Amino acid sequence: MTRIRQKWLTLTAVLGLAYWFFGNLYEAIVISPNWVVDSGAQLTRLNGFFVNTDPTLFFIPLTLLATVLVWVLHLVNRDSELRVHYRKASLFALALTALNILSVTTLITKLFGADYLSYEDELSTYAWRWNVLNVIRMLLTAATAFHLFGAFRKLDRQ
């Protein structure tokens, strides 16, 4: 891979991670704190709102591409100066992916699944957990982007 291509792919991954970070930040400030109060009614309104589309279409394509790109860049990198940046970004991206799998399989399926009201007594607890995990996800996303941006800066200066 040429240095120019590597530089622009690195910037693309950084921008994808920034997109993810700011989407989660908006969700953390504006949307999900509302879920913890009267959770059953809040989630009923939210599930009724998402009829033709849902946040998955916003997050999945670009965020998946960004994390896969982090790993690809780590694997194809031949520059020893960049190795530590890509390695750290890859590890944070791995932790980020693991957290996403955990939150989707344990919380999202209960908060937004077809039978979400069967968990009505626990919905507030699940919403709190989601909010906490979302903050951790934002920290991991920011750390991944930070280390990846370090690689971009070195590539840009060369």
Residues of the chain predicted below pLDDT 50: none
pLDDT score at 158? 85
Please provide the DSSP assignment of the chain as one string: --HHHHHHHHHHHHHHHHHHHHHHHHIIIIIGGGGGSSHHHHHHHHHHH-SS--THHHHHHHHHHHHHHHHHHHHH---HHHHHHHHHHHHHHHHHHHHHHHHIIIIIHHHHSTTGGGGTTTHHHHHHHHHHHHHHHHHHHHHHHHHHHHHHHHHHH-
Q: Which residues touch 24 (CB under 8 Å, ≥6 apart)? A: 134, 137, 138, 141
CA distance 105 to 8: 34
Give the pLDDT score at 83. 97
Q: What is the pLDDT of residue 134?
A: 95
Residue 65 is predicted with a pLDDT of 93
Query: Can you give the residue ranges of every domain in the chain?
Result: 3-157
- Give pLDDT, residue 77: 96
* pLDDT tens-digit readout, 58-78: 777 888 899 999 999 999 999
